[in-house]
Amino acid sequence: MYNVKSLKAEEFISHEEILATLSYAKENKNNIKLINQILEKAKLRQGLSHREASVLLACSDEEKNQEIFKLAEQIKKDFYGNRIVLFAPLYLSNYCVNGCVYCPYHYENKHIARKKLTQEEIRREVIALQDMGHKRLVIETGEDPLNSPIEYVLESIKTIYSIKHKNGAIRRVNVNIAATTVDNYRKLREAEIGTYILFQETYNKTSYEKLHPTGPKHHYAYHTEAMDRAMEGGLDDVGLGVLFGLEGYDYEFAGLLMHAEHLEAAFGVGPHTISVPRIRRADDIDPDAFDNGIDDEIFAKIVACIRIAVPYTGMIVSTRESQVCREKVLKLGVSQISGGSKTSVGGYVEEEPEDARSEQFDISDTRTLDQIVSWLMESGYIPSFCTACYREGRTGDRFMSLLKSGQIQNCCDPNALMTLKEYLLDYASEETKAIGEKLIEREVPNVPKEKVREIVYKNLKEIEEGNRDFRF
């Protein structure tokens, strides 16, 4: 029997298998008997294979599509309740040596403003984010061994964790940097990062190499096998994603699920998160130049089918998407969103002049964090700033076992409410605070276990008295 850990990229993401899967899905898109069988299996909450999920994605029967959406919504509630985790990206540098044709950071773009934050500038950015109320960041850099070596990333993480401002503190730093070595992933582990995130962009090797004509990112296998190296380096939690619009969405969907299956088979833990960004307009990038764009309806169905196929994974949608779109996919599977985001280097401290812009992409949802928190609560969700699982070691298979058994609710519900209470006391507008206090008063009695509920009441009182160092 082969060792799944030794598989190479083109083995666990087989082009031939994806084509066969798409053919199978097309042939069975109106096979109601098979679709019913797949839906019955999905109701067991144990996931689906990439072939089964691809049939659901291809399904053209409107009645069955409504069943798919309804099931996705229920599975989302079963695993993640009504909690929505909030975070923000922090761009450290946009220097890049790659030639990616869909990203304005590409090496040949000579007019975009190139920037790299100093540690003091990082400090100012983090304080600005803390003053909004953020507790969780995702750091982003271009790939440049001279301007953004691993030593710079590690120093920046140390700086971020060191900053205590008023009641603010960044409790977890997730990292989205270029594919690197096992040794460097070990260093990130030692730096106590949260999730390591890396988007595949596209799983089609031929398209991938055309879209990345130059630079280290050109090497498909090295990039695609990065998550294996990350897990070998001790990073329990990894986040997958593709950039929808670069290749056919059904191809990417199948490849994404095959990657999740590989990680589960090789390491016993699938992706902690799956992101579903769509290509957006940026400095010298016109999304209309790419002919695989998807509309909101297809996008929503992709989210629903991922939720059904990989019920345990966290799903992320950023401010690339509009308020209307985010509202729809929150119901269908999304469990994490960014808020009050800037995609420029240094953008949280001051607005950039038009002739010195450094954004990676244009933002669609431009609301403040407070506006998003208020909107979530009015929509029936509990905004959560929780990072307790990372800090208490509930990562990797330990987190997944709790999630799959449903026991994670005993941790996540209380922590969501307590971190929301923090936000309301320290950062919220009066209007948002009033909405939030009513929500907490309503939700605390619904916390699953009586003993846990007692702890929540106790901690809520301590938060009001100034304690901000709880871990539940």
Q: Report the percentage of the chain scoring pLDDT > 90.
A: 78
pLDDT tens for 33-84 read 999 999 999 999 999 999 999 999 999 999 999 999 999 999 999 999 999 9
The type of residue at 64 is: K
Determine the angle formed by the axes of helices 182-190 and 150-162, rounding to 10 degrees: 10
For 169-219, write each residue's pLDDT tens digit: 999 999 999 999 999 999 999 999 999 999 999 999 999 999 999 999 999
Burial tier of 356 (Cβ tally within 10 Å: 0-12, 13-18, 19+): exposed
d(CA 59, CA 408): 33
4 CB contacts (<8 Å, ≥6 apart)? 12, 262, 265, 266
Say if residue 148's pLDDT is above 90.
Answer: yes
| pLDDT tier for residue 336 given thresholds of 50, 70 and 90 | very high
Dist CA 455 CA 440 (whole Å) = 14
The answer to whether the CB of 109 falls within 8 A of the CB of 283 is yes
CA proximity to 113, closest of 91, 80, 133 = 91
CB 292 within 8 A of CB 276: no
CA dist 444 to 336, 402, 424, 433, 441, Å?
21, 21, 15, 16, 6
Q: Which of 221-235, 253-267, 332-346, 388-402 has the lowest mean pLDDT?
A: 388-402
Query: CA separation (Å) from 462 to 209, 413, 427?
Result: 55, 18, 17
Domain ranges of the chain: 77-389, 407-464
What single letter denotes the amino acid at residue 122? Answer: I
* CB burial string 133-148: b at 16+ within 10 A, e below: bbbbbbbbbbbbeebb
Token output for 7: 């598989």
CB 377 within 8 A of CB 421: no
pLDDT for 471 equals 61
The model's pLDDT over 250-309, given as tens digits with 9 standing for 90+, comes to 999 999 999 999 999 999 999 999 999 998 877 777 878 887 889 999 999 999 999 999
Q: What is the mean pLDDT of residues 426-452?
A: 92
Closest of 161, 217, 165, 170 to residue 190, by C-alpha: 161
Residues in the chain: 472
Global pTM?
A: 0.95
Pick the CATH number of 77-389 from 3.40.1190.20, 3.40.50.2300, 3.40.50.300, 3.20.20.70: 3.20.20.70
Q: Phi first, then psi: give them for residue 382, nearest 5 degrees.
A: -105, 110
Beta-bridged to residue 172, according to DSSP, are 136
State CA 30 to chain mean position distance. 32
pLDDT band of 100, cuts 50, 70, 90: very high
* Residue 50, C-beta contacts closer than 8 angstroms, at least 6 positions apart: 21, 254, 257, 258, 261, 309
3-state percent breakdown (helix, strand, coil) of the chain, nearest 5 = 50, 10, 40
- Asked whether the predicted pLDDT for residue 313 surpasses 80, the reply is yes
Closest CA relative to residue 324, chosen from 263, 272, 260, 367? 367
Asked if the model's pLDDT at residue 5 lies above 80, the reply is: no
Residue 127 in contact with residue 163, Cβ under 8 Å? yes
Q: In angstroms, rounded to a whole number, what is the distance separating the alpha carbons of residues 19 and 12?
A: 14
Cα-Cα-Cα-Cα dihedral sign, residues 164, 169, 174, 177: negative
C-alpha dihedral sign at 463, 465, 471, 472: negative
Q: For residue 163, which amino acid is it?
A: I
Phi, psi of 212 (to 5 degrees): -125, 70
pLDDT at 1 exceeding the cut of 60: no
